[in-house]
Amino acid sequence: MNFELNDEQRALQASLARMLGDRYGFEKRRTYAASAAGHDEGTWHEMGGLGLTALLVPEVHGGFGGGARDLLPVMQELGAALSLEPFLPSSVLGTTALGLAADVATQETLLPALAAGEERLAWAHDEAAGRHAPWSIETRAEPRGEGWALDGRKSNVLGAGLARHFVVSARVSGRGGEPDGCALFLADSGAAGLGCRTFRLVDDTPAGELDLRGVVARPLGDPADGAQARAAIEGTLAMGIAAVCADMVGAMQSAFRLAMDYLNTRKQFGRLIGENQALRHRAADMLVSLELARSMAIAAAVAVDQSQGDDARRDLHRAKLSVGRHARALAHAAIQLHGGIGMTEEYAVGHYLRRIHVLDQLFGDGEAHADRLAELA
């Protein structure tokens, strides 16, 4: 076993941390959140410059060919800084889906541009009626002329307003809830019949809802090859789970650090509040949560990179379940240790709860993963 980052991973993490330190302090982040775009284009370009947008792109297409373990320290930094950049939808989900599903010609067109940070994708998979149920895909795809036409609605599409293309899951056969019969398609964000209502999530993340009415889209791979599409969707969701687990760990680290600083500066009754045993014990509980979550984020990343069989799937479910629970508990405690100031929007600690709540609800919440674990047992 080995739990160390390698030299490249460590160097990339340090560069990213430095860049975010310069560009993504809490006050700056507030201005990005309040801006029309909802993120910072300059930071996005710098991320491209650091090679982050190329991290998961295969080497033959100009990327680094990295995996979930390379993503881990990156997502931690982005979570710690409460990043609003469309890295998860484009550089993680869209890129992974394209790598797993698309034919070589499509990959040759898009992956180098993705690696360079010039192309942006969004992952349009979730549908409102599905909630946390996997494969609850009702969006239909039907052959039309030389291409395919999509009809349906997609909810909580992260970075929807920032994407040039959408990777859309749709059903070519079967009924909602069945893992078979789905395929992935690439739709141009300006395509006729594609309505995109953009909004922010409760943690300020830019997102949107797609309304697809006869949208002509290009299939990624052969729509008749259900097994390949299923593997691509599963692989993309697995990468997403590993990514948000790491993001939550980063958010936990920051919330933890803020709370510990506060314990050592705030005075009541003539002494530091950190001298109170009740609060010291709460801090210790937070540390336990943080360490367990850190471990499970690693387990999730390893499970994705060595994705073989039920053991890997189990670790992914366990990670999403346990990181979410520990992250929520830690965020609650961090607010409580701050008292009133922890409840204000002008102060960072409450934003970590907002982010953790959103991430906990993506790719299936804890209960949903507990159910899937129980089915595997």
Partner 1 sequence: MDLELTSAQRTFRDDVRAFVAARLPAEIRERLRAGHPPRKEDTVTWQRILNERGWAAPHWPRKYGGAELGQMERLILMDELYRAPAPLPQVFNVTMLGPVLIEFGTPAQCDYFLPRLANLDLWFCQGFSEPGSGSDLASLRTAARRDDDHYIVNGQKIWTTTAHWADWVFALVRTNSEGRKQEGISFLLIDLKTPGITIRPIRSIDGEHHLNEVFFDEVRVPASNLVGEENRGWACAKFLLGNERTGIANVGLCRERLDYARELAGCVTQGGPRLVDDPSLRREFALLEAEIRALEVTNYRFLLTPSAQQALPAFASVLKLKGVELQQDINALLGRLAGPAGLERRSADDLAHGPLTARYFYSRAASIYGGTSEVQKDILAKAIVG
Tell me which residues touch partner 1 (CB under 8 A). 126, 128-136, 155-156, 176-177, 199-202, 204, 207, 267-270, 276, 278-279, 328, 332, 335-336, 339-340, 342-346, 350-351, 353-354, 357-358, 361-362, 365, 367
CB of 216 to partner 1, least distance (A): 28
Are 326 and 341 contacting, i.e. CB atoms less than 8 angstroms apart? Answer: no
Nearer to partner 1, 22 or 367 (CB): 367
Residue 138: other Cβ atoms inside 10 A: 16
User: Helix, strand, or coil here: 63?
Assistant: coil
Nearer to partner 1, 58 or 176 (CB): 176
Nearer to partner 1, 62 or 134 (CB): 134
Residue 373: other Cβ atoms inside 10 A: 17
Nearer to partner 1, 46 or 204 (CB): 204
Nearer to partner 1, 279 or 300 (CB): 279
Are 210 and 159 contacting, i.e. CB atoms less than 8 angstroms apart? Answer: no
**C-alpha to C-alpha distance for 230 and 364, rounded to whole angstroms:** 17
CB of 199 to partner 1, least distance (A): 5
| Sign of the dihedral defined by the CA atoms of residues 102, 104, 110, 113, in that order | positive
Nearer to partner 1, 184 or 358 (CB): 358
Nearer to partner 1, 15 or 155 (CB): 155
CB of 10 to partner 1, least distance (A): 34
Tokens of 235: 């692989």
Nearer to partner 1, 18 or 281 (CB): 281
Nearer to partner 1, 63 or 342 (CB): 342
CB of 153 to partner 1, least distance (A): 12
CB of 178 to partner 1, least distance (A): 11
Tokens of 96: 């992974």
> How many residues can be counted in the chain?
377
HEC sequence for 271-306: EEHHHCHHHHHHHHHHHHHHHHHHHHHHHHHHHHHC
Helix H or strand E segment including 267: strand 267-268
DSSP symbols for 75-92: HHHHHHTT--STIIIIII
CB of 291 to partner 1, least distance (A): 23
Are 12 and 51 contacting, i.e. CB atoms less than 8 angstroms apart? Answer: yes
CA distances from 42 to 15, 24, 90, 160, 363 (A): 16, 11, 16, 19, 29
CB of 344 to partner 1, least distance (A): 5
**C-alpha to C-alpha distance for 32 and 177, rounded to whole angstroms:** 38
CB of 357 to partner 1, least distance (A): 7
CB of 80 to partner 1, least distance (A): 18
